[in-house]
């Protein structure tokens, strides 16, 4: 009986092992199929570095280290040239009428008392009429006063009648003076009747606004036909970001460079900082008062104003020939351990003595750069 039980247990163990082997084989088969259907692993192939340059003889390009240079911090902002409002003078006419001739145009440079405009005015006609009536009334009043004086001397009239005649004569003279001055204000000479009025320039300068054309009408005390600006001094109005306002103060000096004259520095001074911020771009208007040397600063010109701080900072300086200007950016080439050269973008600053140039960012003192960047770039392109 014991032997039969042992045989039965052994048979059950054999059957169990067989089932386990079959299940294991089925699992391995399904894994192989999944592995065959899966895509192969991706292989990343590194592409060439566009900033690296390889030349045949790198030893032919001399290197120079960037050295330290102490300079005050700078802030460069953009702006535009505007006329000084205090130097804008309107051309005022007290006579209304029709434009007969225009002798100056927008943008012309005019001198004081130069004729700008001629109009035909009924105001002048009325003024001459009143003046002539006043002259006639004064003549009559003078004759009456002389007659009354003669009669008073002979005792024919009382002193009161003489005083009335004298008062009429004095008032007639006042009327003549008033009417004559009215004609002069309209631009005419009382002794030379002329129904045309010449509008003259009150000051010398440049016509920066014109509101009149041929055959148009001009109204007294209305729209000014011209505006003349004295451009010997102008404003440069700049936009300074909110984060940089702490570096700008009223009275600070600034160096201004016009886009049209990049090699010419023009000094200016901060005269006003706007109390209102632009809510869209978060800037404040900063006004610089600038003397206009030779009249080169024209209204609307773009300019860059540079403010220098009081605290000194350390920058790098390299030979000016080591900087390459490409696509409105500045680049230098620094060597790599594998005898190649890497193109590095920098932000250059002012020119320094001994043909050196300041580097504001992108390069640290001690780094090596190629002294002639243009030659290296041309050699690489010709390979």
CATH of the domain at 291: 2.40.30.170
For residues 94-100, average pLDDT: 87
Number of domains making up the chain: 4
* Spatial CB neighbours of 146, under 8 Å, sequence gap ≥ 6: none
Q: Which of 269, 286, 310 is the last residue of a domain?
A: 310
Q: Is residue 31 part of a domain?
A: no
Q: Is residue 20 part of a domain?
A: no
With a pLDDT cut of 70, the percent of the chain lying above it is 86
Measured torsion, CA atoms of residues 22, 26, 29, 30, in degrees rounded to the nearest 10: -170
Task: List the single range of 5-14, 117-126, 186-195, 368-377 with lowest mean pLDDT.
Answer: 5-14
Q: pLDDT tens, 316-332?
A: 999 999 999 888 889 99
Chain centroid offset of residue 338 CA: 48
Residue 214 CB neighbour total at 10 angstroms: 9
Range of the domain at 341: 58-71+313-382
Q: pLDDT tens, 192-229?
A: 888 888 889 999 999 989 988 888 888 887 778 999 99
Q: How many helices (H) and strands (E) does the chain have?
A: 4, 21
CATH of the domain at 114: 2.40.50.100
pTM of the model: 0.55
| 141 lies in the same domain as 237 | no
Q: Is residue 271 part of a domain?
A: yes
- Choose among 17, 82, 110, 79: nearest CA to 259: 79
Q: Is residue 17 part of a domain?
A: no
Cβ atoms of 175 and 137 closer than 8 Å: yes
Say what the pLDDT of residue 349 is. Answer: 82
Q: Which of 310, 326, 351 is the last residue of a domain?
A: 310
Task: List the single range of 17-31, 78-92, 170-184, 340-354 with lowest mean pLDDT.
Answer: 17-31
Q: Is residue 184 part of a domain?
A: yes
Q: How confident is the model at residue 257 (pLDDT cuts 50, 70, 90)?
A: very high
Residue 108 backbone class (left: φ over 0; alpha: ψ -120 to 50; beta: rest): beta
Chain centroid offset of residue 291 CA: 16
CATH of the domain at 147: 1.10.287
Cβ atoms of 140 and 167 closer than 8 Å: no
Q: Which of 173, 194, 215 is the last residue of a domain?
A: 194
Q: pLDDT tens, 133-144?
A: 999 999 999 999
């Amino acid at each position: 009986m014991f032997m039969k039980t042992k045989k039965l247990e052994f048979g059950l163990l054999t059957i169990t092992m067989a089932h386990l082997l079959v299940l294991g084989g089925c699992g391995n088969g399904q894994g192989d199929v999944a592995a065959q259907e899966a895509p192969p692993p991706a292989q990343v192939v590194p592409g060439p570095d566009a900033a690296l340059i390889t030349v045949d003889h790198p030893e032919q390009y001399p290197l120079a280290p960037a050295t330290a240079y102490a300079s005050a911090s700078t802030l460069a902002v953009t702006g535009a040239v505007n006329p000084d409002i205090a130097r804008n003078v309107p051309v005022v006419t007290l006579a209304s009428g029709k434009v007969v001739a225009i002798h100056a145009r927008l943008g012309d440079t005019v001198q004081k008392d130069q004729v700008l405009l001629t109009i035909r005015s009924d105001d002048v006609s009325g003024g001459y009429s009143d003046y002539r009536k006043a002259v006639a009334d004064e003549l009559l009043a003078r004759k009456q006063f002389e007659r009354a004086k003669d009669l008073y001397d002979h005792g024919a009239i009382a002193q009161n009648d003489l005083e009335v005649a004298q008062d009429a004569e004095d008032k007639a003279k006042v009327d003549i003076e008033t009417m004559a001055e009215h004609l002069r204000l309209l631009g005419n000479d009382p002794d030379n009747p002329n129904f045309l009025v010449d509008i003259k320039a009150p000051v010398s300068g440049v016509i920066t606004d014109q509101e009149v054309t041929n055959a148009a009408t001009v109204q007294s005390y209305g729209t000014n036909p011209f505006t003349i600006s004295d451009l010997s001094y102008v404003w440069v109005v700049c936009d300074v970001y909110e984060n940089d306002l702490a570096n700008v103060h009223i009275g600070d000096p600034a160096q201004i460079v016009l886009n049209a004259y990049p090699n010419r520095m023009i000094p200016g001074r901060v005269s006003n900082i706007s109390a209102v911020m632009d809510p869209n771009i978060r800037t404040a208007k900063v006004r610089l008062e600038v003397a206009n040397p030779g009249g080169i600063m024209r209204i609307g010109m773009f300019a860059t104003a540079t403010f220098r701080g009081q605290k000194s900072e350390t920058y790098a300086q390299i030979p000016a020939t080591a900087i390459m200007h490409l696509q409105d950016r500045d680049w230098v080439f620094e060597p790599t351990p594998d005898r190649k050269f890497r193109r590095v973008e920098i932000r250059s600053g002012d020119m320094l003595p001994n043909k050196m140039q300041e580097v504001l960012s992108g390069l640290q003192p001690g780094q090596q750069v190629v002294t002639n960047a243009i030659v290296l770039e041309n050699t690489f392109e010709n390979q």
